[in-house]
Amino acid sequence: NAGVTQTPKFQVLKTGQSMTLQCAQDMNHNSMYWYRQDPGMGLRLIYYSASEGTTDKGEVPNGYNVSRLNKREFSLRLESAAPSQTSVYFCASTLRETQFFGPGTRLTVL
Amino acid sequence: ELKVEQNPLFLSMQEGKNYTIYCNYSTTSDRLYWYRQDPGKSLESLFVLLSNGAVKQEGRLMASLDTKARLSTLHITAAVHDLSATYFCAVARGWGFGNVLHCGSGTQVIVLP
């Protein structure tokens, strides 16, 4: 039981490049989330998926797209990366009230 | 808009002394969470508080919730170095919102000998 896994752990992009952050959970959770964390700040929600087949925007969705591929996987795509997207990205999943977080992806956009 | 404010944002503690971190939130919430984050690491769940008057304790940490005052406290008893970390509170509303967390900015705790 690996919990919530994320790949990659680190990534450096140039402005304008695209990439997809992968997230998977093996706990059979319905809801999954993507957050970003900037220095000295808490988490801000980018997108979430309350159940397989549905996605909704969070607080800071601009510049991102998501795909809930199946119940296990929820990916986050940056189509044209910008320096403002330099951040640490956390994926989470939840069953009822408990949220479980992945280890994070540290992304730098130059 | 649901806002969550923590204070203090930074707390330097002396080993053996007691301290409290405060978390205020702006609108009715159904659940309040406390998380711990070590530098460069993910968030570790400490407590989930579900009702007014709820109190939970684990080791030197105790969390309480007053929904009428929209206030939660995280009390640290006899601080030790291992408790150095950043502590976040977060709230969530209902189930129709998909259990989305609204986080505070975090309280960075350093415990000095």
As a whole number of angstroms, the distance between CA A70 and CA B90 comes to 28
The answer to whether the beta carbons of residues A93 and A25 sit under 8 Å apart is: yes
CA-based nearest distance A81→chain B, Å: 22
Q: What percent of chain A has pLDDT over 90?
A: 79
| φ, ψ dihedrals at B14, nearest 5° | -100, 140
State whether B103 and A42 contact (CB < 8 Å): yes
Whether B100 has a pLDDT exceeding 90, the answer reads no
Whether B96 has a pLDDT exceeding 60, the answer reads no
Residue that the structure tokens 């304008």 belong to = A16
State whether A40 and B98 contact (CB < 8 Å): no
As a whole number of angstroms, the distance between CA B105 and CA B52 comes to 23
Whether A74 has a pLDDT exceeding 60, the answer reads yes
> Nearest-CA residue of chain B relative to A50?
B98
CA proximity to A97, closest of B87, B45, B74, B43: B45
The answer to whether the beta carbons of residues A3 and A101 sit under 8 Å apart is: no
For the stretch A16-54, pLDDT in tens is 999 999 999 999 998 999 999 998 778 899 999 988 889
Q: Which pLDDT value is given to residue B97?
A: 54
Beta-strand pair B4-7/B102-103:
unpaired
> Nearest-CA residue of chain B relative to A93?
B99
Whether A71 has a pLDDT exceeding 90, the answer reads yes
Name residues whose C-beta falls within 8 Å of residue A39's C-beta, 6 or more positions apart in sequence: none
For the stretch B2-61, pLDDT in tens is 889 999 999 999 999 999 999 999 988 878 999 999 998 999 999 999 888 999 999 999
> Nearest-CA residue of chain B relative to A106?
B40
Residue A24 neighbours by CB distance under 10 Å = 20
Rg for chain B, CA atoms, rounded: 14
| φ, ψ dihedrals at A45, nearest 5° | -75, 130
Interface of A with B (CB under 8 A): 31, 33, 35, 40-45, 48-50, 56, 58, 90, 92, 94, 96-104
Arithmetic mean of pLDDT, A50-65: 92
CA-based nearest distance B33→chain A, Å: 9
Q: Which pLDDT value is given to residue A51?
A: 87
Q: What percent of chain A has pLDDT over 70?
A: 99
Which H/E stretch holds residue A64? strand A64-68
Q: Which pLDDT value is given to residue A89?
A: 97
Whether A96 has a pLDDT exceeding 80, the answer reads no
Helix (H/G/I), strand (E/B), else coil: A84 = helix
Q: What amino acid occupies position A72? A: R
Arithmetic mean of pLDDT, B94-98: 59
**Which among A48, A97, A101 has the least Cβ separation from residue B98?**
A48
State whether B43 and A43 contact (CB < 8 Å): yes
> Nearest-CA residue of chain B relative to A39?
B105
Q: Which pLDDT value is given to residue B27?
A: 84
> What pLDDT band is residue B98 in, cutting at 50, 70 and 90?
low
> What pLDDT band is residue B95 in, cutting at 50, 70 and 90?
low
The answer to whether the beta carbons of residues B33 and B47 sit under 8 Å apart is: yes
